[in-house]
Amino acid sequence: MMLRDPRRLLRVSVAPAAALAVAVLSSLSRCSLLEPEDCVISALSPYFGTKTRYEDVNPGLLLDPEAPRRDPELLEETCTPVQLVALIRHGTRYPTAKQIRKLRQLHGLLQARGPGDDKTCAAGSHDLRAALAAWPLGYAEWMDGQLVEKGWQDMRQLALRLASLFPALFSFENYCRLQLITSSKHRCVDSGAAFLQGLWQHYHPGLPPPDIADMECGTPRINDKLMRFFDHCEKLLTEVERNATALYHVEAFKTGPEMQNIVKKVAATLQVPVSNLSADLIQVAFFTCSFDLAIKGVKSPWCDVFDIDDAKVLEYLNDLKQYWKRGYGYTINSRSSCTLFQDIFQHLDKAVEQKQRLSLCQFTKSWPR
């Protein structure tokens, strides 16, 4: 939740304002399909960045994914929520078509080797290469970042947690005052629909949810200018997205010694020429470990290709890209988000003004005449 001053907004002793806004952003998140006692883990998980499973970040989800967890400093007796504005990641998704094509390229390199090509391999390397060659690809281009069933479950459970955590705001009377805004990305639209399904489950326990279009409050509203502001800022597009030199430091790191050592190591493991691999292919192989953990609930052989030192280098590569493309590398990166944050603060300011007017009205009525 993005709150400018949580204490100021929550520590008020008036009835909650009738306003609730929830926004769905297009970014990547992961969750496990497994029960807590069967949880499959990987030592690489802390280094997957935005491709980390929810449960790896918040282990409490393994115990009860629908149970809310409140900050002990926010005591119910002294804090009254006025408004909730949330920026919510979409649920677990498939790899994108671009990632799947790169993974198929890696798979093709493994499949291209004949059975007699492994004579010079060390035993361990041969076993791992054979396991990778036999491991099914499991992803097709039509999947292209779509929400998986676990992603729908992620969002339904998040809605249940928020509704339990803020019962006054999520009362049935406030249901149709909720504003759900999403980008046009299908995984975000579906995440919004799943969130509404979760609220339906909260209000109508035991009843199957109807189609989103048939629910009382309708479908999420699509607003790409607000939710995908980075696609609509011409200065950002010119100075960063379309600028061939904007990610110079990222490209330099890809060809630097740290990444090239990993490329050579993976080439030896796969028994393919170093020239057939690139930093981009290596990064996809690394993230495939995360995809398989999140979507299939299994630890694939791709997890065994890398060790912790490799993971730290690959994590840095991803962080470096985000720093220059979305983070503090260029001033326009943060300024491009002003439209979204202005919208958030306007909603919060309006809620505070409504609360103050209500308090003044109540004070005036109670003042002796």
Q: Give catalytic residue positions.
A: 90
- CA 66/CA 93 separation, integer angstroms: 20
Instruction: Let me know if 151 is exposed, middle or buried by CB neighbors in 10 A (0-12, 13-18, 19+).
Output: buried
Kindly report the number of other CB atoms within 10 A of residue 281's CB atom. 17
- CA 292/CA 353 separation, integer angstroms: 48
Closest to 175 measured CA to CA, from 132, 204, 152, 151: 204
- How far from 366 is each of 17, 133, 357, CA to CA, in Å? 20, 78, 14
67 Cβ contact list (under 8 Å, min separation 6): 60, 161, 164
Angle at the Cα of 184 from the Cα atoms of 179 and 189, rounded to 5 degrees: 60
Helix/strand/coil (H/E/C) assignment for every residue in 153-176: HHHHHHHHHHHHHCCCCCCHHHHH
Instruction: Let me know if 219 is exposed, middle or buried by CB neighbors in 10 A (0-12, 13-18, 19+).
Output: middle
β partners of residue 89:
25
